[in-house]
Structure 1
Amino acid sequence: MIRLGLTLGDPRGIGPEIVSKALGDPRTGLPGASSHAPPPVSWRLIGPAGCGVAVHDDLGAWQPGGDTAANERLAGALAGRAVEHAARLALAGEIDGIVTAPLDKHALQAGGYDYPGHTEMLSHLAGVPTAMMLASDRLRVVLATTHIALRDVPAALTREVLVQTFRTTYHGLQQDLGVAMPRIALCAMNPHAGDGGRFGTEDDDLLTPVARDCGLFGPYPADTVFVRAMRGEFDAVIAPYHDVGMTAIKVASFGSAVNITLGLPFVRTSPDHGTALDIAGYGIASAESLVHAMQVAVEMVARRRER
């Protein structure tokens, strides 16, 4: 039996809705959806009561409405507490991993959790370095730096960060995604990979030596490297900063990509989208990416067990 936790995310958003829809999708192998879908999966739902989805762990009642700022703080606190609880269960071996519905980063901070997002929070809770991967059947992208301002990227993008990201990516591709000999490309930081220093020296001074020492391909300009990966030349691309990588994967596969946290001692996946507060409560949110995230989590646990 594969045991996975499923957090509901920000209760103001579409998390509870898409979780409810995913429960009945035959592709997830959930009880009641398809009793014949191997391997057997047991899901433990984790989130605040009152979201329209039955939960096994009562993290407090959610009552929407009232003061906007207070409502945001409560939503962020409940979402953060659910992630904490899920991580504790995974670290204790009570579940094999977690799938997380979207949370709101501003609300998370307002609720007392000073993390830019799930990835950084789980890395801290587990005490290990991690890497954020967005993956679909067309493309896999890993971010060397995540939720920081663009002006801070040059200082944050160090040799140590790039080498650690490579190691985490290489191991994750082997352990969790079944790629025996990963071919990983490095996306350049500057236009045309700096064009010999004309548009910046970071690619020549930093990225090229790291690529050489780690056996990475590149660095290649952003306007070609993702296309080459989609054509099968590389198994993954490491992007130097958030938007260059996220834009590529979302243009290629929005709604079908899965966010995977590499490097954790347990499996963690999530959808490739946010809370969508503007459409929450209308019943029109798509659960497609969450369904994919749940499927990938099951596959990753099964693969780890095989190894």
Structure 2
Amino acid sequence: MKKEEKIRLGISIGDLNGIGSEVVFKTFQDSRMLDFCTPVIFASVKILSFLKKQYNINVNLHGIDKTSQILDGKINVLNVWKEPVNINFGKEDEKIGSYAIKSLTAATQALKNDEIDVLVTAPINKHSIQSEEFKFPGHTDYLDQELEGNSLMFMITDDLKVGLLTDHVAVKDIADTITPELIAQKINTIHQALKQDFGVSKPKIAILGINPHSGDNGVIGKEDEEVLKPTIQKVQESGKLVYGPYAADSFFGSNTYKTFDAVVASYHDQGLIPFKTLSFGKGVNYTAGLNKVRTSPDHGTAFEIAGKNKADHSSFEEAVFLALKIYKNRNQYAEITKNPLKKQPRKPQQK
């Protein structure tokens, strides 16, 4: 019998002046992680060897120059560059930002070429990555361009899943950005993700209001009455279990979210503040709606503790496990939908 191939888990290294390399090392310091996947870090084996000494973390790195050299049971480091890099922990640096983008673009290309199966991205600094070649506010927008589909920021824990209608949009532009087309698209993306990526057969989704108290029947803004409610009704008519809009201020504190499979927030802070408060650093940022699987920890570069060996790797580890889980779920879903007669094994007949 042919041995099942391990899932190849690509990792973009993020900002080298931040905590990205530290949380990667701490995750794979436990050798049992290599039983679940084959990690491939897109960076430089020289710089990562230097960093692991700085952190005094015992991991064995296997340097390679092409994906055909990837070995199971090893922490593979694909050399995206070989020149020396000056590390200055906790500092914003455009040069370091350029290496974060080199890592990301190389990992994304490998993902597109099926040389890796999933991608987990370590945190970047959104300011230092900007250049003439890279003009995106973050990972999600770049991956939306590079991979097929319509991306959606989907924050995940076992008990709470929060998707966003708008993510990195200035507050003053939120109301103009939210259109009936956008609402329907994001709801459809979340609905499909819940089915194919999380195995929820009949997803139940809550929508939060745009304005305080969902507009109070038009007294505090008209967007909820004129845009959100009619669109929710149309989506309901298609057979989806979508409800709202709910006033955001009491929705989480009252535990109403626990009766739904996912919650759709209108904008970034409306969804992420309660999510990060409730997830206690165990949350994962998942880019739903694409033809490939990408996850990341729910935190940033944490420059204030970079280089001090104080970073908690829980969120990055959860991001690894979620990427593996979604990859398996997608394959299973594809098999079921391709051949629905194989949904359940046939039960043996009673004699």
TM-score (norm 1): 0.91
From 19, 24, 28, give the equivalent of 1:14: 19
2:33 to 27, 30, 35: 30
Q: Which residue matches 2:155?
A: 134
Distance 1:111 1:24 in 2: 37
1:182 alignment partner AA: P
Contact 1:9 1:103 (8 Å CA) reproduced: yes
Partners of 1:174 and 1:261 in 2: how far apart?
15
- Counterpart of 2:244 (choices 209, 218, 231) is 218
State the secondary structure of the residue aligned to 2:245: strand
Q: How many residues align?
A: 296
Offset at residue 224 of structure 1 (A): 2.7
Structure 2 matches for 1:89-100, cutoff 5 A? 89-100=110-121
For residue 226 of structure 1, report the CA deviation from its aligned partner: 3.1
Amino acid across the alignment from 1:199: I
User: Partner letter of residue 324 of structure 2?
Assistant: V
Superposition pairs of residues 1-307 of structure 1, within 5 angstroms: 1-25=6-30, 29-31=32-34, 35=35, 40-49=36-45, 50-51=47-48, 52=51, 54=61, 56-60=77-81, 61-64=83-86, 72-110=93-131, 112-215=133-236, 216-227=242-253, 232-307=258-333
Larger displacement relative to structure 2 (48-57 or 187-196): 48-57
Q: Give the whole-Å Cα distance in 1 for the aligned partners of 2:264 and 2:293.
A: 20
Once the two structures are superposed, residues 116-147 of structure 1 have per-residue CA deviations (whole angstroms, 9 ceiling, x without a partner) of 11111110111431100011123111011111
TM norm structure 2: 0.80
Partners of 1:149 and 1:231 lie apart in 2 by 26
CA contact (8 A) 2:297 2:319 kept: yes
* C-alpha spacing 1:304/1:212, structure 2 compared with 1 (3 Å): same
Q: CA deviation at 1:231?
A: 5.2
Residues 97 and 266 of structure 1 are in contact (CA less than 8 Å); yes or no, is this contact kept in structure 2?
yes
Q: Which has the larger radius of gyration?
A: 2
Distance (whole Å) between structure 1 residues aligned to residue 247 and residue 258 of structure 2: 17
Shift of 1:233: 1.1
- How far apart in 1 are the matches of 2:289 and 2:308? 37
CA displacement, residues 24-71 of structure 1 (integer Å, 9 cap, x when unaligned): 236xx422xxx4xxxx411111124413364532122452258x99x7
SS class of match (1:3): strand
Mapped to 1, the partners of 2:212 and 2:265 lie a distance apart of 13
Superposition deviation, residue 228 in structure 1: 5.8
Taking only the aligned residue pairs, the percentage that are identical comes to 35
* Alpha-carbon distance in 2 for matches of 1:111, 1:58: 24
Cα distance in 2 between the residues matched to 1:231 and 1:185: 8
Unpaired stretches in structure 1, ≥5 consecutive residues: none
Letter in 2 for 1:235: D
Shift in Å at residue 87 of structure 1? 1.4
The letter for the 2-side match of 1:63 is V
Runs of 4+ in 1 over 6 A off after TM superposition: none
2:251 and 2:257 in contact (8 A); partners too: no
Gaps of 5+ in 2: 1-5, 53-60, 64-76, 237-241, 334-351
Q: CA RMSD in A?
A: 2.0
